[in-house]
Amino acid sequence: LYIIELQLSRFWTSRFWASLGVQAQWGGETIVDGRPSGNRLDQYFGEAALGYAFNRDVALSGTYGRIFGSSNDTRGEVWRLRLLLAF
């Protein structure tokens, strides 16, 4: 399975940032007795995120992402809220 990812981030202030990302995955097909089994995975995923750093040790981010293209009709959507604590 091969994966390539591209992220573009922009800091609007020293604490607030936004990000866009795309990812492509392809390959991963199983071969049994020298014959492909037809389960190759080719899909494309996009996401957008917003984040805010409260201080050096605490940050909060929210992300929305979804699969927007697939060779085998895979569908998926994700909402993620992440709290980062550093110590």
**Long-range interactions of 9-17: CB distance < 8 A, separation 24+:** 14/53, 15/52, 15/53, 15/54, 16/50, 16/51, 16/52, 16/53, 17/50, 17/51, 17/52
Q: What is the pLDDT of residues 25-84, one digit of tens each?
A: 998 778 888 888 877 888 999 999 999 999 999 999 999 999 999 888 888 999 999 999
Cα–Cα distance for residue pair 61/85, rounded to 1 Å: 12
Q: What angle do CA 57, 22, 15 make, to 5 degrees?
A: 25
Name the pTM for this structure. 0.76
| Mean pLDDT taken over the chain | 92
Percent of the chain at pLDDT above 70? 100
Q: What is the pLDDT of residues 21-39, one digit of tens each?
A: 999 999 877 888 888 887 7
